[in-house]
Amino acid sequence: MAQPDGTETDLATVLHALGDPVRLELVRRMAEDGESACSPDGVDAPRSTLSNHWRILREAGITETRRVGKARLMSLRRTDLDTRFPGLLAAVLAGGRR
């Protein structure tokens, strides 16, 4: 699984990834709850669509994925994002609240 180094993340790619409502919801949930399974409860999207959303978030450098047996768990790369783009994640999460 491609996971860019924290110094390789690109602002335009990160903003594009966060610009989708489903991906923003996934990021918001990880920010509040920590790790997330591939198909979190309450997200109304087909599994294949979620898989694509997770790939986009991972390749943008927003999340990291680890395997536990057959399961994959995703977590937010908050430290990497805050180091590379100070305040960005906090602003996006605060602005995206309902």
The predicted-structure confidence for 24-78, as pLDDT tens digits, reads as follows: 999 999 999 888 888 777 787 888 888 899 999 999 999 999 888 988 899 999 9
Let me know if residue 1 belongs to a domain. Answer: no
Total number of domains in the chain: 1
Question: Is residue 35 within 8 Å of residue 65, measured between CB atoms?
Answer: no
- Structure-model confidence comparison of residues 97 and 69, the more confident one: 69
3-state secondary structure of 65: strand
Q: Does pTM top 0.85 for this prediction?
A: yes
Let me know if residue 5 belongs to a domain. Answer: no
Name the residue range of residue 15's domain. Answer: 10-95
Let me know if residue 2 belongs to a domain. Answer: no
Element (H, E) at 75: strand 71-76
Distance CA 73, CA 92 (A): 23
Q: Residue 17 belongs to a domain with what CATH number?
A: 1.10.10.10
